[in-house]
Structure 1
Amino acid sequence: MTAQALAGALADDVRRQVFAAIVLGGADAPAVADRTGLSARQVLTAIRRLVDAGLVAGGDGDLRVDAERLREAARTPVAPRPAGDATDRVLRTFVRDDRLTGLPAQRGRRRVVLVHVAKSFEPGVRYPERAVDEVLRRWCEGGGSDHVALRRYLVDEQLLAREQGVYWRVGD
C-alpha cells in the first residue's frame, strides 16, 4: 500500500467514519452502522473499499485494522514529485506570454515566479534602478502586478541585490 493509496482510501468522509468505527471496536457491519449512524449500504460499500485498499482485514464479525499494512506504508519512502511538475504548473498559472497574470500569495509559489522573473537579468551585470524598472514594467503589463512591488520581492527574496540605486542578480 502506498501513501497515496492510503490517503485516497481515507479521503472519503463515509470511509473515514467507518474506519474510525472499526478502530474503536466495531467488529461487524451492523456494529459499525450503529456507531456511525450510516445506512447498511454505505457501511458495506465503505468496508469493501477499505478491505480492497488493505486498511481493514477480516470478514463478518471479525473486522479489524490491518496494523501491519499501516506500519509497512509508514516505512515505505514516498518518491518525491519531479520538481519540474510543480514549477511548470505554477508558471503556467501565473505567467502568460512573459507577462505576470498575478503574484501568488503563497510564498513558495511566489518564489517560483520570482526566480523565473529574475532570469531576465544577466548574472554579473549591474543595472541602474531605471533599467530594472523597465524590465519589470514589461512583466507587469496587463495589470498582473506592480513593478515596484515586484522589485521589492526580488530584493527581499535575495534574487536581486541593491546598493546605492544599482541592482544585480544574486547567485549564478
Structure 2
Amino acid sequence: MTAQALAGALADDVRRQVFAAIVLGGADAPAVAGRTGLSARQVVTAIRRLVDAGLVTGGDRDLRVDADRLREAARTPSVPRPADDPTDRVLRTFVSDGRLTGLPAQRGRRRVVLAHVAKSFEPGVRYPERAVDEVLRHWCERGGCDHAALRRYLVDEQLMAREQGVYWRIGD
C-alpha cells in the first residue's frame, strides 16, 4: 500500500470516522455504529472498503487496524516530484491564464517574466509600435503592469530592439 492509497482510503469522512472508532476499540460493526452514530449500512460499507484497502483486518467481528500495513505505507516512498524549476516558479507567481499579475521587483525574476512575454513576438519579424502595444495590452489586462512600461522593459533588457517606431524580437 502506498501513502497515496492510504490517503485515498481515508479521504471519505464516513470511512475516517469508522477507522477512528476501530482504532479506539470498536471490535465489530454494532460497536462502531454506536461510537460514531452512523447507520449500520454506512458502517458496514465503510468497513468493507477499509478491509479492501488493507487498513483493517477481521470480518464482521474482531475488527483491528492493520498496524504493519500502516507502517509499510508510511515507509514506502511516494513517487518523487520533479525538481521545481525556478523559472516555472517565477512564471506561476507572476503569470496567470496568459496575463501578468504583476512584475517582479527583483531584476533576475523580472527578466524571466519579460523573456516569457517576449515569446509573443516572432524573431526577425518587424512590428509597428501599435501592434506591439496591442499584444502587450493583452498581457496587462489584469492590471499587473502598464503596457508602455512593459515595452520599455523589453527594450531595456535587450529582448526587443527599437528603431523609428518599429520593434523586433532579439535572439532566438
TM-score of Structure 1 vs Structure 2, range by shorter chain? 0.5 to 0.7
Aligned equivalents of 1:115, 1:64: Cα separation in 2: 58
Q: Does structure 1 residue 43 correspond to structure 2 residue 43?
A: yes
Q: Does structure 1 residue 19 correspond to structure 2 residue 15?
A: no
Which aligned pairs between 1:98-137 and structure 2 lie closer than 5 A? 99-100=99-100, 102=101, 117-120=113-116
Structure 2-normalised TM-score?
0.59
Q: How large is the Cα RMSD of the aligned pairs?
A: 3.8
For structure 2, the 5+ residue unaligned runs are: 103-108, 119-131, 151-155, 159-172
Which aligned pairs between 1:28-107 and structure 2 lie closer than 5 A? 28-82=28-82, 90=92, 94-96=96-98, 99-100=99-100, 102=101
Percentage of identical aligned residues: 65
**Count of aligned pairs between the two proteins:** 126
For structure 1, the 5+ residue unaligned runs are: 104-112, 123-133, 152-165
CA deviation map 1:120-172 (0-9, x unaligned): 599xxxxxxxxxxx99x93742125135xxx9xxxxxxxxxxxxxx879xxxx
CA deviation map 1:30-65 (0-9, x unaligned): 000000000000000000010111110111221000
Q: Relative to structure 1, is the Cα distance of residues 13 and 140 closer, same or farther in structure 2, using a 3 angstrom cutoff? A: same
Structure 1-normalised TM-score?
0.59
2:28–2:60 contact (8 Å) kept in structure 1: yes
Q: Relative to structure 1, is the Cα distance of residues 70 and 144 closer, same or farther in structure 2, using a 3 angstrom cutoff? A: farther
- Residue 145 of structure 1: aligned partner: 144
Q: Which amino acid aligns with 2:115?
A: K
Aligned equivalents of 1:49, 1:120: Cα separation in 2: 48
1:94: how far off?
1.0
